[in-house]
Structure 1
């Protein structure tokens, strides 16, 4: 069996790294978690998450560009839904890993934040 070169590994893993980067913002994760439970309009997400309308719209645009959410018009509003139901499993797996590692990820000097609360 041959060992892949580090360059090939980086190329093959780039899409996964991009996916995790798209999930790397607490606001986007909150939006995805909400959409995992039910579809929502921007106004619903603003109310439920306590974020500014412009912030919610910006993050929804990012998630749509990543192919993780989609919308359909309902009257004058757009209703957003997850396009990838397997995100629910991914988020659940992340919660399992976080529960198993305790504060290790939050306190990581490279990726964590000083207070462990995220960005």
Structure 2
């Protein structure tokens, strides 16, 4: 009989939290926009069409998971993907899994451009 392994509750919670953050369509839209480069909240509001407070809340969730970083310049805050290549790898793996399970889907070209960049 195979050895029974205990689940790592901390790792399970970390994975669940990350997948929960990435499960929201608005947050995925923000990720897609940030894949093209830095944006201010106001830029994201214009692109996505959500209220400023809603975009800020979603950015807060993405920052909490350290998927997004912020750079302050004067009174402006510029947001960017913290690990763009690693996030592109996750998205590429997700696309392969979706294809394998009969639901082919692909996110925007900005993400695909990250996938073709050499690793840093």
Q: TM-score, with normalisation over the residues of structure 1?
A: 0.73
Shift of residue 33, structure 1, vs aligned partner: 1.6
**Distance across 2 between alignment mates of 1:94 and 1:67:** 19
The residue aligned with 1:94 is: 94
Kindly tell me the number of residue pairs found equivalent between the two proteins. 102
The alpha carbon displacement at 1:103 in A equals 4.5
- Secondary structure of 2:35's counterpart equals helix
Structure of higher RCO (CA pairs closer than 8 Å, 6+ residues apart): 2
1: CA distance, partners of 2:35 / 2:88:
6
Tell me how large the CA RMSD over aligned residues is: 2.1
Gaps of 5+ in 2: 105-120
Runs of 4+ more than 4 Å apart? none
Summarize deviations over 1:70-98 as a string: whole Å, max 9, x none: 11112321000111221111122222322
- Give the secondary-structure state (helix, strand or coil) at the position aligned to 1:62: helix
> Residue 4 in 1 paired to residue 16 in 2?
no
The answer for the alignment partner of 1:73 in structure 2 is: 72
**Unaligned ranges ≥5, structure 1:** 105-119
